[in-house]
């Protein structure tokens, strides 16, 4: 659906900030039908924040649609994109999962359908594995599990597809940071770690330059399968708000990716194998309906991740869209249809007694 023909976003029924500890307050909002089937939307990035279009991902006449900006992102405070040094020590996947539970309790919801886009699919899986009894179903779009294999591919391996852009991307970290592409030792500094350090540095001009280098690289490799044939270039001019948004995104992405999404040992929490990541905990979702939607042309996140998760998830459905990448209109159609199917069969759960 083109932006010209897209319906206006749904109005909000309620919104606010919820204190979740460590000095953080997360922004949340509701739309749709207040007594409908609860549906939770988890945005990508990490660091993208909410955009109004997500409110159209579920049937508004049957669903209570909830969105939140994850710690440090969007309207949540404090912002990870604030000028000067920031502390991301209390920003991990475990913190985000706890925030989701705090929001569920705050809103009086017993269980909900959870939908996640890109990084949001990693967070959705982490939450569902931690609280399977609170999940009516899961819909994943542009599926990721943020394993080291995926992170190393999207930051280094994919350079074989975009060698010119990657040379500029890696060259910035070699000139200004501690990355060395010639170093192949196990102790080498990964490119994502070099950028993480640059983005948390004390020099504001270098931080912004690193954010621009990161975002230009993101824009380049994400465009395949979206219909864009233009090589990504840095924008000529940015407002202070745009710079803050780009710092937010780049800082949170590199923070999470440099730590392999903080999920490498997630399965070990449930008696699984340490280091197995989310894949090792998929058995906990047996009986939870799930739909995984992925584009065959998603070179940023090859379809093998969605395939492996699907095979390890009893009863899940895998939908591969052959001619789209990290998003596209047919993927969006499948996403909305999957949420509608789950909502139709979930019923409306009752709020727990207070």
Task: Name the active-site residue from 118, 121, 145, 316.
Answer: 118
* Residue 292, both tokens: 């995984």
Q: Is 121 known to be catalytic? A: no
Our CA dihedral for 180, 181, 182, 183, rounded to 10 degrees, sits at: 60
Task: Name the phi and psi angles at 31, rounded to 5.
Answer: -145, 180
Name the catalytic one among 76, 145, 298, 316. Answer: 298
For residues 199 and 248, the answer to whether their CB atoms sit within 8 Å is no
259 assigned to active site: no
- SS3 string, 262-331, reads HCCCHHHHHCCCCCCCHHHHHHHHCCCCEEEEEECCCCCCCCHHHHHHHHCCCCCEEEEECCCECECHHH
**Please, is 156 exposed, middle or buried when counting C-beta atoms within 10 Å of its C-beta (0-12, 13-18, 19+)?**
middle
Q: Residue 298 catalytic?
A: yes
Please identify every residue annotated as catalytic: 118, 298, 326
């Amino acid at each position: 659906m083109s932006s010209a023909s897209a319906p206006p976003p749904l109005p909000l029924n309620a919104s606010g900030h919820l204190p979740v500890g460590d000095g953080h307050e997360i922004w949340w909002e509701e739309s749709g039908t207040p007594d409908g089937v609860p549906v939770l939307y988890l945005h990508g990035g990490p660091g993208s924040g909410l955009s109004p279009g997500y409110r159209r991902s579920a049937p508004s006449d049957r669903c209570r649609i909830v969105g939140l900006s994850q710690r440090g992102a969007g309207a949540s405070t404090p912002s990870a994109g604030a000028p000067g040094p920031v502390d991301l020590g209390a920003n991990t996947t475990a913190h985000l999962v706890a925030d989701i539970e705090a929001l569920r309790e705050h809103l009086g919801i017993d269980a909900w359908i959870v939908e996640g886009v890109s990084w949001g699919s990693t967070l959705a899986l982490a939450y569902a594995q931690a609280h399977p009894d609170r999940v009516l179903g899961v819909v994943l779009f542009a599926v990721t599990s943020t394993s080291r294999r995926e992170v190393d591919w999207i930051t280094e391996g994919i350079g074989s597809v975009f060698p010119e852009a990657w040379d500029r991307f890696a060259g910035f970290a070699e000139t200004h940071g501690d990355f060395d592409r010639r170093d192949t030792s196990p102790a080498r500094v990964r490119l994502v770690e070099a950028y993480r350090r640059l983005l948390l540095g004390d020099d504001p001009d270098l931080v912004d330059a690193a954010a621009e280098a990161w975002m230009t690289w993101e824009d380049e490799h994400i465009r395949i399968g979206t219909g864009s044939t233009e090589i990504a270039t840095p924008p000529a001019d940015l407002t202070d708000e745009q710079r803050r948004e780009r710092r937010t995104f780049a800082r949170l992405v590199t923070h999470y990716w440099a730590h392999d999404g903080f999920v490498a040992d997630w399965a070990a929490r449930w008696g699984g194998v340490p280091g197995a990541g989310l894949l090792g905990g998929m058995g906990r979702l047996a009986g939870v309906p799930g739909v995984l939607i992925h584009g065959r042309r998603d070179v940023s996140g090859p379809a093998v991740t969605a395939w492996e998760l699907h095979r390890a998830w009893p009863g899940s459905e895998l939908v591969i869209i052959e001619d789209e990448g990290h998003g596209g209109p047919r993927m969006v159609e499948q996403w909305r249809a999957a949420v509608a199917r789950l909502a139709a069969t979930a019923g409306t759960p009752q709020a727990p007694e207070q």
